[in-house]
A and B are shown apart, each in its own frame.
Chain A
Amino acid sequence: MRLQAISSVLILACGCVAAGDALAADAAGVVKTVKGTVQVERAGASSGAAIGSDVYSSDRIVTGPESSVGITLRDDTQLSAGANSILELNKFAFNTTTHAGILDASIKRGSLAVISGKLAKANPDAVRFSTPTTTLGVRGTAFIIEVGGNGESAR
């Protein structure tokens, strides 16, 4: 019983540290649309996404069957992921004065629609999307990626 109490205290403490870390860095973007089941995995923890949830660099976004999510990044990049998708936002940084930064995202499974934003306009080489078989360079535009295989299974 006492052991259980100690472990929940530990879990609480770890949760607080993780939340502190997340707040320390600027959010990369905000969730704007949610349908069905959408989970955001961050630092080993997973939580349900809602409209208004912040998304951070290194987040992994997982959608369930008949689910989808739409995210606007701080440079106006618009992302949407379809059903049964795994989207990893590997790196994101954006300087609002110079428009320098980086956007590196991978769609491991499912589908992704992109409308590129200010980063791609100012510095196209700083923007990269990848699938299990490809890497995409973006020259100011919109596109769809559909991953053919089952890709990586959801954790």
Chain B
Amino acid sequence: MTAAIRCLGRAFAAAFVTLVFLSACSTPPDKIILLPDPEGKVGAVIVHSATGQQTINKAYAGVDVTQGGAIEKTMDSQSSVETRYSQLLAARPPRPRTFTIFFLFDSATDLAPESLATVKELKAVLATWPAPELVVVGHTDLAGSQDFDDNLSKRRAQTVAAFLIKQGIPAQQIETAARGKREPLVHTADGVPNRMNRRVVITIQ
């Protein structure tokens, strides 16, 4: 008899737990909040749900999206976002930093004279960087064909990689890549030589 009552009690308890569980299932919405990027520029995020779509394009604007897909616009302030997400924002990796080394015309080997100073600065930054990886990307000006420039920019990247290794940076931290004439610093007509575009950009990731 007592066993039966105890059993009944247990069943009630189970039902109660189930109810609590069910009410917890009225899930809070997913939140998306737009931030300015590290340069202060604000881009946009386009949020698609099962039932709608919303573009967010203002800093600290956002949306709440329910399980059913309903989208509600939100507006936060910088301080409220920085407080609420302080742990998350503190966990962000360091912002990748770039250093540029320039070359003489048509040369894959002659570095501009200020290069040594640039490498000195780079090494100082490397010393405190978590798990540093260097991406060394060669570029050319718009003189020359794409194939020629792809090759020239590749050799420039290799020259700088060798230079960095000679300066004491471990080879296994260095990856080279070549962009040819695809990403000029100064936009010119095709075929135009330009000192600023004959360069290698080193990114510390």
Contact = CB atoms under 8 A, between A and B. Distances in A.
Interface of A: 30-33, 35, 51-52, 66, 68-72, 74, 76, 78-83, 96-98, 111-113, 115-116, 131-150
Contact of A141 (B43, B65, B90): B43
Contact of A143 (B45, B50, B96, B205): B45
Interface in B24-45: 27-38, 41-45
A30 B134 CA distance: 12
Given A133-B29, A138-B46, 4 more contacts: A74-B205, A133-B69, A142-B34, A145-B30
B93 A146 contact: no
A50 to B, nearest CB: 9
Interface residues of B, number: 54
A69 B90 CA distance: 10
A111 B88 contact: yes
Contacts of B49: 133-134
28 contacts: A30-B133, A32-B130, A68-B90, A71-B93, A72-B96, A74-B135, A82-B85, A96-B179, A97-B179, A113-B85, A113-B88, A115-B37, A115-B95, A131-B30, A131-B32, A133-B66, A134-B30, A134-B47, A135-B47, A138-B46, A144-B85, A144-B88, A145-B32, A148-B27, A148-B30, A148-B31, A148-B64, A149-B27
Contacts of B92: 33, 70, 78, 80, 113, 115
Interface string B160-197: 00000000000000010111101000000000000000
A138 B35 CA distance: 12
A83 B91 CA distance: 10
A73 to B, nearest CB: 9
B100 interface: no
Nearest to A137: B46
A69 B43 contact: no
Contact of B45 (A78, A79, A138): A138
Nearest to A112: B88
Interface in B86-130: 87-96, 130
Top 7 nearest A-B pairs (CB, nearest first) are A141-B43, A96-B177, A32-B93, A68-B91, A52-B131, A149-B27, A148-B28
B45 A147 contact: no
B88 to A, nearest CB: 4
Given A133-B66, A136-B46, A149-B67, A143 B35 contact: yes
